[in-house]
């Protein structure tokens, strides 16, 4: 993550916000007092929140672990050709 001073951020606000959104890269902005904040797109923030939700849910993590085990043994769910076409859009 790149870091920039609040003064440089203020001077280049429009371009830096556009970069954070288009590149999907957060930007850390520091203040003289040492405090900092992060600028990121709403889309990226929402994605991160969803990831945190999954990681904090024991039941979801257990489902993922079970799925990985059956996949490794090639005993997991096998979609039909029609379902695969629907999933992949082919």
Q: Show me where the domains of the chain are located.
A: 2-40, 42-75
Between CA 84 and CA 41 the distance in angstroms is: 32
| Residue 89 pLDDT greater than 90, yes or no | no
Q: Could you give the dihedral angle defined by the CA atoms of residues 56, 58, 59 and 64, in that order, rounded to the nearest 10 degrees? A: 80
Helix, strand, coil percentages, rounded to 5, for the chain: 60, 15, 25
**Secondary element (H or E) of residue 74:** none
Q: Give yes or no for a contact between 38 and 28, defined as CB atoms under 8 angstroms apart.
A: yes
In the CATH scheme, what architecture does the domain 2-40 have?
A: 3-Layer(aba) Sandwich (3.40)
Phi and psi at 74, nearest 5°, equal 60, 35
Q: Share the mean pLDDT of the chain.
A: 94
What pLDDT is recorded for position 28? 97
Sign of the dihedral through C-alpha 21, 25, 29, 34: positive
| Residue 6 pLDDT greater than 80, yes or no | yes
Residue 80 structure tokens: 């039909």
The pTM (predicted TM-score) of the whole model is: 0.68
Region 44-48 average pLDDT:
97
Region 11-23 average pLDDT:
96
Q: What are the tens digits of pLDDT across the range 48-88?
A: 999 999 999 999 999 999 999 998 998 888 889 999 999 89
């Amino acid at each position: 993550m790149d870091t920039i001073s609040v003064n440089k951020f203020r001077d280049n606000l429009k371009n830096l916000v556009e970069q954070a959104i288009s590149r999907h890269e957060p930007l850390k902005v520091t203040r003289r007092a040492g405090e900092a904040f992060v600028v990121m797109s709403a889309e990226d923030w929402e994605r991160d929140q969803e990831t945190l939700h999954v990681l904090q849910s024991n039941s979801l993590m257990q489902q993922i672990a079970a799925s990985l085990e059956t996949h490794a043994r090639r005993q997991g769910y096998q979609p039909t050709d029609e379902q695969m076409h629907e999933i992949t859009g082919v």
